[in-house]
């Protein structure tokens, strides 16, 4: 194991940045709430922007509310090396999710600047807007905007208070009208590296502080609406009811059973949000809307499960005299990390005296969208009991330092070796 004296990054400065950012949107003792495009998100972005500039980068916010710091290389035509993650959070989130990837990237660049390194390619650090997707029910907004992958209705999506993404962007200080003037240049980015907490228990179970990611499971997000008929809870016989909540409950249980069919498979299925109308104790529920999150590293297995799930929804609706709609919010295939980047990560880790294990990512990350425009690699940092999207989320300063040191060394190696950035 490497000792702190071997680190080139400034671990104390990195931890200070993590602690300071965690004060913005702080909830309780350890939690944060920085919803995308909120006032708290803007305050966090402004603070991070100041650190980018202190590190020697030019920093700006693009039309999609992505914060971008640029350290210019000597060859403006060379494909860019991009580092980063996000600083928006869940409404009941932790201080490390996304944030260490942005702050670790800034630290990596600042270390290279302080060493007097002169890169050939430009290095960009990005804090992508709305990775989480919890506010407008569709994530990876900033990275998809940057790479030209937005969908037609993106700006019309509303949050639970009826605020549209268009309105939120304007309030944040970005004008959606500027989208039309932006065109992603294919081949501009040569590689993308992302540091992130694991958000799972695998590294802790292996007693390993960091890991190298092999690929990201493909997420399928659906919103299902079941429609029945409201009636008095005391007078309508059970056999004559069209109870939308009862039908929804059967589908939710069925989803749990479907994803458990194959023992040992990494398939996961979750219903994380549910609304009931009219939402009264003594009225039979007429309309229920709920979300489905289905993920798997094997796209064929996930597709087969989706077919079974849709059949289940149809059968339950027929059984209870319900109608339904299914809206697809996100559908991405699994994406695998570039072999050459994994090899570089392993080589640099070896020079640190480490042999980090490889593991897949169940959660999606900004890297998922970046994988469609360039090669990507990811470093995972161990987190306590695998807890994430929770104020109890915790990664130790020592583990974060190790992950950031590996990020720095790998970024430095790639930046010095233009062969790794050929478009």
Say if residue 202 is in the same domain as residue 224: no
Say if residue 211 is in the same domain as residue 224: no
pLDDT in tens, 329-339: 889 899 999 99
Looking at residue 3, its pLDDT comes to 44
Looking at residue 417, its pLDDT comes to 79
Say if residue 365 is in the same domain as residue 310: no
Say if residue 204 is in the same domain as residue 229: no
Blockwise average pLDDT, block size 10, the chain, 423 residues: 68 98 96 98 98 98 98 93 98 96 98 94 97 93 96 93 98 95 94 97 97 94 97 97 98 98 93 97 98 95 97 98 95 94 97 96 93 97 96 98 98 77 38
- Mean pLDDT computed over every residue of the chain: 95
Say if residue 370 is in the same domain as residue 321: no
End-of-domain residue from the set 331, 356, 389: 331
Say if residue 299 is in the same domain as residue 413: no
* Lookup result for tokens 């059984």: 319
* Lookup result for tokens 């590190």: 55
Say if residue 74 is in the same domain as residue 188: yes
Say if residue 86 is in the same domain as residue 60: yes
Say if residue 298 is in the same domain as residue 308: yes
Say if residue 60 is in the same domain as residue 79: yes
pLDDT in tens, 56-76: 999 999 999 999 999 999 999
Q: What is the CATH number of the domain that holds 283?
A: 3.30.70.360
Taking the alpha carbons at both ends of the chain, their separation in whole angstroms is 35
Pairing of strands 80-86, 189-197: parallel
CB 244, CB 228: distance < 8 Å: yes
Looking at residue 137, its pLDDT comes to 86
End-of-domain residue from the set 331, 362, 388: 331
Across-strand partners of 226? 288, 324
* Lookup result for tokens 């480490």: 354
Q: What is the total count of domains within the chain?
A: 2
Across-strand partners of 85? 127
Q: What is the CATH number of the domain that holds 360?
A: 3.40.630.10
CA distance 409 to 192: 14
The residue range of the domain holding 112 is 4-217+334-421
Say if residue 322 is in the same domain as residue 340: no
Please say whether the dihedral angle defined by the alpha carbons of residues 76, 81, 87 and 89, taken in this order, is positive or negative. positive
Looking at residue 418, its pLDDT comes to 57
Say if residue 174 is in the same domain as residue 115: yes
Q: How far is CA 374 from the centre of its chain?
A: 17
End-of-domain residue from the set 331, 350, 382: 331
């Amino acid at each position: 194991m490497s000792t702190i004296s071997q680190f080139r990054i400034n671990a104390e400065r990195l931890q200070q940045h993590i602690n300071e950012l965690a004060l913005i949107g702080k909830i309780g003792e350890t939690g944060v709430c920085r919803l995308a495009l909120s006032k708290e998100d803007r305050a966090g972005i402004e603070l991070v922007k100041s650190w980018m500039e202190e590190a020697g980068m030019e920093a700006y916010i693009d039309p999609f509310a992505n914060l971008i710091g640029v350290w210019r290389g000597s060859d403006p035509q060379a494909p860019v090396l991009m580092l980063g993650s996000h600083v928006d959070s869940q409404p009941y989130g932790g201080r490390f999710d996304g944030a260490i990837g942005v702050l670790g990237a800034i630290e990596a660049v600042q270390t290279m600047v302080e060493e007097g390194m002169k890169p050939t390619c430009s290095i960009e650090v990005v804090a992508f807007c709305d990775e989480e997707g919890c506010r407008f029910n569709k994530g990876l907004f900033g990275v998809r905007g940057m790479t030209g992958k937005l969908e037609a209705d993106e700006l019309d999506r509303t949050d639970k208070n009826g605020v549209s993404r268009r309105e939120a962007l304007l309030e944040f200080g970005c004008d959606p009208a500027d989208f039309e003037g932006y065109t992603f240049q294919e081949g501009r980015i040569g590689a993308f590296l992302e540091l992130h907490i694991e958000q799972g228990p695998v590294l802790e179970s292996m007693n390993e502080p960091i890991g190298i990611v092999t690929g990201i499971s493909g997420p399928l997000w659906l919103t299902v609406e079941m429609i029945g008929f409201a009636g008095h809870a005391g007078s309508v016989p059970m056999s004559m009811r069209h109870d939308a909540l009862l039908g929804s409950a059967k589908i939710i249980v069925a989803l749990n059973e479907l994803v458990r069919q194959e023992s040992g498979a990494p398939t996961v299925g979750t219903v994380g949000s549910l609304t009931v109308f009219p939402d009264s104790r003594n009225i039979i529920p007429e309309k229920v809307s709920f979300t489905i999150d289905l993920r798997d590293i094997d796209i064929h297995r996930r597709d087969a499960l989706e077919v079974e799930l849709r059949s289940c929804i149809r059968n339950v609706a027929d059984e209870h005299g319900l109608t339904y709609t299914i809206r697809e919010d996100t559908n991405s295939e699994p994406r695998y990390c570039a072999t050459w980047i994994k090899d570089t990560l392993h080589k640099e880790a070896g020079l640190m005296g480490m042999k980090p294990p490889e593991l897949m990512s169940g959660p999606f990350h900004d890297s998922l969208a970046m994988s469609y425009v360039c090669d990507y690699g990811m470093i995972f940092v161990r987190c306590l009991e695998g807890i994430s999207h929770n104020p109890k989320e915790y990664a130790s300063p020592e583990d974060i330092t190790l992950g950031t040191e590996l990020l720095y060394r790998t970024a430095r190696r790639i930046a010095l070796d233009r062969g790794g950035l050929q478009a």
